[in-house]
C-alpha cells in the first residue's frame, strides 16, 4: 500500500447502536473502493472486519477493526467500532485514532440508546461527525423521522446532504443535494433528480449553501450580494464547517443492497477533514511546555497507541496513529510515560487480520507494530531527542464484577501471566484481589464483556476459569469501649510459655482503620514484647468475631500485663493478644459494616420514577436528581450487596437505555435483621469447611 500525504488521508470511525449495520457498511466501502472483490456477510461469518471467533459465533463486533482502502488518489482508514455497550472501551480507542465519525443509524429503529451514547463520546472528544441512515430498503424505514429525532435530541445543526429515492421496497437510489444529481442502484449510475424531489432538494441545498458561506468572510460577502457560490467553494466551506463541528451532514442508503455507498465514499473524500486540518496539543516531557502537533513529516515523531491485541503466537500487536513525524521500521523510540526505549521492528498497515508490511507510516496515518515490551493502550511513542506526550485516552470504569477461580492446578499456574496479557489488550477490564474475602475479582462493562473475556482466556491461552457472584467484602467494628485480659500459659515439660495482657478496645470514627497504643508503666510488659502484642492483634483482627470479616475502625490500648523472666516470649504475647481480642471484642458491641457505593444513573426522563423506586427496594438513599434535555440523572448511595447484578437489571428496567457509574463511597452499619442472616450464613460455611 502506497504512502499518502496527510491531506490525502481520511481516518473515519463507524459508530452507532448495535446492529445498525456498521460492519456491513464497512464491507460495502471496501468493495466499492476495490479493496474487496466480493462482499462478505455478518450472518455468514466471512466479513473482513469481524474475524475473531467470538465475533463470528455471536454475529456482533467485539473489537475495532482497521480497514484501509484507496479511492480517488486518497487513502481512507475505516475503523469499524463495536456497537454493543459492553465494548465501549474499543469505541473510545477508535475515536482517539479518527478525525471524523460516521454515526450509523437504523432507518427503522431510529436514534437508539447506543446512538446517544456514542454521540456523547464524540462530544467528549470534540470529534466532527456525519450521519449515515442505513437500511433504507427495510420495511418501516423512515428517513424523515430519523432527521426529526436527530434534530430534537442533538444541539448541532442537522442537514440532509442526500435524500432517498423511494423507500422500503421501492428504495432505489439517492439524490446528492449539493450537486443536484441522482445516483441509482448498486453501481451508483448518475441520473436526473426525480421531479417529486426537486423542490425539497432545492430547499436543503439553499440551507447547505448558507452553511458553507458562513465558513468564510469572503464567501459570506459573495452570498449576501446574491452571487452564486461555485461547487468548489461550497465543498471547501462545508469541509471547514464539518471540521469545526458546526454542522452534521446526513447521508442515506442500504449497506446490504450496496445502494448509496459509492456516493457516501465520494463524500468522505469531498467533505470530511483530513489529518492535515487537525491540531492536537501535546506536552514536552522535559519542560512541561505545551506544543501544537500537526500531521507534518518534518515534525517531531509522536504516535499514540489506541489499541492492543494479545496473540499467543505473534505476541502483542499495538495499533498506533501517527500524530506528527514518521514512524519507520527497524528504529528506536521511547515511551513518553516512563522514558523506556522500545525497538520498532517491522511495521504494518492492518486490514482486518491481514498484515501489510511497510517501511514507514507517515503523519496522520494508522499502522501497527508487534512485540512492544512496555507500551500499553493510550500511551505515546516519540523520539528520544524530543519526548512529547499527549493526553491519554479516557476509558470508562467497569461496572460489573465476578469472582474468578482457576478450574485446575494447571490453570492456577498460568492464571497470572494470562490475565496480565488480557489486561494489556482491554483497558476496561480490571482484575484485583479483594483482601476482605480472599477472592480474585474480574470487573468489566457488563456480563457479555466478562463472558467473552473468560472465553478468550481459554481460546488464546488455554486458561479455564470458573466464575461466581463475588462475596461482599463486609467488615466488622465495635460501638463501645470494653476491656479484656488475655493470658497465655502453657507448661509441658522443659521451657514453658507465658504472656499476660490487659487491653482496652475503643471505637474510632468510620474509615479510621486500626490504632495501637500502650499505657504500660513500670515494665509490667517489657518493651521488647509490646510489638509482639500489636502484631498479634493485627493478625487476629483479620478474622472478626461475628462472621469472620476483618475488624476495623478501633483502637487497642495495652494498659497492663505481666511476664515471666524465663517462660515469656514474643510468641506467648502474640497469643495472649489473640485471647484478649476474642474476649474483649464481643463485649464491645460488635456490628457488621457493608460497603456503600455512590451510584449515578442517567436515563430518559420517563424511566426516572422506575429507577428511584428500584433504588428504594435496594435500600438506596437518593442524594439528588437532575433533568435536562429529556434525560434524568439520579445519584444515590446504595449498599454494594444490592448492586452486584445492577448492570443487567438496569438494562431490563430501561430497555437498554440506562447508563450508570458506580464508585466506593464509605462503609456503614448493616441493619440488624440483614446482619443476622450474613452471620448465620458465615457460620454455616465455616461448619461445612471444617
pLDDT digits (tens, 9 = 90+) for 27-42: 999 999 999 888 888 8
Distance CA 223, CA 7 (A): 27
pLDDT digits (tens, 9 = 90+) for 222-238: 888 888 888 998 999 99
pLDDT of residue 288: 85
Check whether 690 has a pLDDT greater than 70.
Answer: no
Q: Comparing C-alpha atoms, which of 558, 568, 544 is closest to residue 505?
A: 558
pLDDT digits (tens, 9 = 90+) for 426-438: 999 999 998 878 8
pLDDT of residue 373: 87
Can you say how many angstroms the Cα of residue 410 is from the centroid of all Cα atoms in its chain? Answer: 31
444 contacts 454 by C-beta, under 8 angstroms: no
49 contacts 158 by C-beta, under 8 angstroms: no
pLDDT of residue 312: 67
* Domain 476-589 is found in CATH 3.40.50.300: no
Confidence at 494, pLDDT banded by 50, 70, 90: low
Check whether 563 has a pLDDT greater than 80.
Answer: yes
Q: Do the domains 592-673 and 476-589 match in fold? A: no
- For residues 482-499, average pLDDT: 86
- For residues 571-577, average pLDDT: 95
CA distances to 336, 601, 608, 621, 659 from 615, rounded to whole Å, are 44, 11, 11, 7, 15
Distance CA 509, CA 497 (A): 37
Share of the chain above pLDDT 70, in %: 99
Q: What is the dihedral of CA 52, 56, 58, 60, to 10 degrees?
A: 70
Confidence at 1, pLDDT banded by 50, 70, 90: low
Share of the chain above pLDDT 90, in %: 70
Select the more confidently predicted residue: 498 or 188. 498
Distance CA 518, CA 530 (A): 8
260 contacts 144 by C-beta, under 8 angstroms: no
Q: What is the dihedral of CA 501, 504, 509, 515, to 10 degrees?
A: -30
CA distances to 17, 413, 454 from 465, rounded to whole Å, are 31, 12, 7
Distance CA 79, CA 532 (A): 61
546 contacts 686 by C-beta, under 8 angstroms: no
Distance CA 621, CA 616 (A): 7
Check whether 111 has a pLDDT greater than 70.
Answer: yes
pLDDT digits (tens, 9 = 90+) for 114-141: 898 899 899 999 999 999 999 999 999 9
Mean pLDDT of the chain: 92
Confidence at 613, pLDDT banded by 50, 70, 90: very high
- For residues 320-331, average pLDDT: 94
pLDDT of residue 495: 73
368 contacts 355 by C-beta, under 8 angstroms: yes
pLDDT of residue 337: 86
| DSSP state letter for 35 | S
Check whether 313 has a pLDDT greater than 80.
Answer: no
Distance CA 621, CA 612 (A): 9
Q: Is 306 left (phi over 0), alpha (psi -120 to 50) or beta?
A: alpha
Select the more confidently predicted residue: 307 or 37. 307
Distance CA 293, CA 325 (A): 9
Angle between helices 409-425 and 447-461 (to 10 degrees): 120
pLDDT of residue 493: 63
What is the enclosing helix (H) or strand (E) of 471?
none
| DSSP state letter for 321 | E
What is the enclosing helix (H) or strand (E) of 552?
none
Distance CA 255, CA 47 (A): 13
pLDDT of residue 225: 81
Distance CA 494, CA 13 (A): 79
- For residues 88-105, average pLDDT: 95
pLDDT digits (tens, 9 = 90+) for 199-214: 999 999 999 999 899 8
The neighbour count for residue 587, using CB atoms within 10 Å, is 14
Residue spans of the domains in the chain: they are 6-193+245-277, 279-390, 400-471, 476-589, 592-673
- CATH class for domain 592-673? alpha beta
Distance CA 210, CA 225 (A): 13
Distance CA 150, CA 105 (A): 10
660 contacts 646 by C-beta, under 8 angstroms: yes
pLDDT digits (tens, 9 = 90+) for 370-400: 989 889 999 999 998 889 999 889 998 888 9
pLDDT of residue 7: 93
Distance CA 186, CA 180 (A): 19
List strand residue ranges (DSSP E) for 508-609, in order.
Answer: 514-518, 554-562, 591-604
- CATH class for domain 400-471? alpha beta
Residues near 689 by Cβ (< 8 Å), separated by ≥ 6?
none
Check whether 406 has a pLDDT greater than 70.
Answer: yes
**Fold designation for 6-193+245-277:** Rossmann fold (3.40.50)
Tell me the DSSP string of 256-306.
TTTBSHHHHHHHHHHHSPPGGG-EEEEEETTT--EEEEES-TTSPPEEEEE
Tell me the DSSP string of 93-160.
HHHHH-SEEEEEEETTTBS-HHHHHHHHHHHHHT--EEEEEE-TTSTT--HHHHHHHHHHH--SEEEE
Distance CA 314, CA 608 (A): 49
Distance CA 184, CA 404 (A): 55
- For residues 267-285, average pLDDT: 92
pLDDT of residue 374: 87
pLDDT of residue 640: 95
- For residues 35-61, average pLDDT: 87
Q: Where do we find the cell 426522563? A: 605
CA distances to 18, 496, 645, 647 from 651, rounded to whole Å, are 14, 64, 10, 6
Please name the CATH architecture into which domain 279-390 falls.
Beta Barrel (2.40)
pTM score, whole prediction: 0.85
Check whether 367 has a pLDDT greater than 90.
Answer: yes
Strands 331-335 and 341-344: antiparallel
Q: Comparing C-alpha atoms, which of 173, 199, 176, 177 is closest to residue 187?
A: 173
Q: Where do we find the cell 445519584? A: 635
Amino acid at each position: 500500500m502506497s504512502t499518502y500525504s496527510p491531506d490525502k488521508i481520511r481516518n473515519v470511525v463507524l459508530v452507532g447502536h448495535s446492529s445498525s449495520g456498521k460492519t456491513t457498511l464497512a464491507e460495502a466501502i471496501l468493495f466499492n473502493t476495490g479493496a474487496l472483490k466480493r462482499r462478505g456477510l455478518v450472518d455468514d461469518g466471512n466479513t473482513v472486519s469481524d474475524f475473531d471467533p467470538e465475533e463470528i459465533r455471536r454475529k456482533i463486533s467485539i473489537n475495532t477493526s482497521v480497514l484501509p482502502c484507496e479511492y480517488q488518489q486518497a487513502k481512507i482508514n475505516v475503523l469499524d467500532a463495536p456497537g454493543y455497550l459492553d465494548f465501549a472501551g474499543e469505541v473510545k480507542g477508535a475515536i482517539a485514532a479518527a478525525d471524523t465519525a460516521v454515526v450509523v443509524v437504523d432507518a427503522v429503529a431510529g436514534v437508539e440508546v447506543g446512538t446517544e451514547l456514542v454521540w456523547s463520546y464524540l462530544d467528549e472528544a470534540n470529534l466532527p461527525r456525519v450521519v449515515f441512515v442505513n437500511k433504507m430498503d427495510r420495511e418501516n424505514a423512515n428517513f424523515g423521522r430519523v432527521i426529526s429525532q436527530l434534530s430534537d435530541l442533538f444541539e448541532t445543526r442537522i442537514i440532509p446532504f442526500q435524500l432517498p429515492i423511494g423507500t422500503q421496497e421501492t428504495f432505489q437510489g439517492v439524490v446528492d443535494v449539493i450537486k443536484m444529481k441522482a445516483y441509482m442502484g448498486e453501481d451508483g449510475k448518475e441520473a436526473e433528480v426525480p421531479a417529486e424531489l426537486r423542490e425539497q432538494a432545492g430547499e436543503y441545498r439553499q440551507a447547505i449553501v448558507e452553511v458553507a458561506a458562513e465558513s468564510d468572510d469572503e464567501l459570506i460577502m459573495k452570498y449576501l450580494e446574491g452571487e452564486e457560490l461555485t461547487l468548489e467553494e461550497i465543498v471547501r466551506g462545508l469541509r471547514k464547517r464539518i471540521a469545526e463541528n458546526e454542522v452534521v451532514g446526513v447521508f442515506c442508503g442500504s449497506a446490504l443492497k450496496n445502494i448509496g455507498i459509492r456516493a457516501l465514499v465520494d463524500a468522505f473524500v469531498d467533505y470530511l477533514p483530513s489529518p492535515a486540518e487537525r491540531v492536537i496539543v501535546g506536552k514536552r516531557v522535559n519542560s512541561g511546555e505545551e506544543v501544537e502537533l500537526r500531521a507534518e513529516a518534518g515534525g517531531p515523531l509522536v504516535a499514540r497507541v489506541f489499541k492492543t491485541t494479545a496473540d499467543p503466537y505473534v505476541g502483542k500487536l499495538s495499533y498506533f496513529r501517527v500524530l506528527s513525524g514518521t514512524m519507520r521500521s527497524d528504529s528506536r523510540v521511547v515511551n513518553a510515560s516512563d522514558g523506556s526505549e522500545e525497538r520498532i521492528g517491522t511495521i504494518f498497515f492492518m486490514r482486518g487480520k491481514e498484515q501489510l508490511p511497510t517501511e514507514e507510516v507517515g503523519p496522520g496515518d494508522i499502522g501497527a507494530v508487534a512485540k512492544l515490551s512496555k507500551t500499553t493502550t493510550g500511551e505515546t511513542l516519540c523520539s528520544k531527542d524530543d519526548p512529547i506526550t499527549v493526553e491519554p485516552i479516557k476509558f470508562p470504569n467497569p461496572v460489573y464484577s465476578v469472582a474468578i477461580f482457576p478450574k485446575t492446578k494447571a490453570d492456577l499456574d498460568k492464571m497470572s501471566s494470562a490475565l496480565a496479557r488480557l489486561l494489556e489488550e482491554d483497558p476496561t477490564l480490571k482484575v484485583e484481589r479483594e483482601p476482605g474475602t480472599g477472592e480474585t475479582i474480574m470487573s468489566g462493562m457488563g456480563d457479555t464483556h466478562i463472558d467473552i473475556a473468560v472465553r478468550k482466556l481459554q481460546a488464546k491461552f488455554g486458561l479455564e476459569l470458573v466464575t461466581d457472584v463475588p462475596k461482599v467484602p463486609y467488615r466488622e467494628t465495635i460501638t463501645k469501649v470494653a476491656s479484656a485480659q488475655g493470658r497465655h500459659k502453657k507448661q509441658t515439660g522443659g521451657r514453658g510459655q507465658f504472656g499476660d495482657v490487659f487491653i482496652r478496645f475503643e471505637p474510632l470514627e468510620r474509615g479510621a482503620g486500626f490504632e495501637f497504643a500502650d499505657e504500660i508503666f513500670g515494665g509490667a510488659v517489657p518493651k521488647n514484647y509490646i510489638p509482639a502484642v500489636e502484631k498479634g492483634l493485627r493478625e487476629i483482627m483479620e478474622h472478626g468475631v461475628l462472621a469472620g470479616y476483618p475488624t476495623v475502625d478501633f483502637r487497642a490500648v495495652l494498659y497492663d500485663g505481666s511476664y515471666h523472666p524465663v517462660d515469656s516470649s514474643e510468641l506467648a504475647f502474640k497469643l495472649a493478644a489473640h485471647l484478649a481480642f476474642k474476649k474483649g471484642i464481643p463485649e464491645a458491641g460488635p456490628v457488621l459494616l457493608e460497603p456503600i457505593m455512590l451510584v449515578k444513573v442517567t436515563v430518559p426522563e420517563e424511566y426516572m420514577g422506575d429507577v428511584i423506586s428500584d433504588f428504594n427496594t435496594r435500600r438506596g438513599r437518593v442524594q439528588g436528581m437532575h433533568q435536562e434535555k429529556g434525560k434524568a440523572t439520579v445519584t444515590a448511595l446504595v449498599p454494594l450487596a444490592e448492586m452486584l447484578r445492577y448492570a443487567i437489571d438496569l438494562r431490563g428496567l430501561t430497555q437498554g437505555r440506562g447508563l450508570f457509574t458506580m464508585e466506593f463511597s464509605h462503609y456503614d452499619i448493616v441493619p440488624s435483621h440483614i446482619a443476622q442472616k450474613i452471620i448465620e450464613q458465615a457460620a454455616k460455611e465455616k461448619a461445612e469447611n471444617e
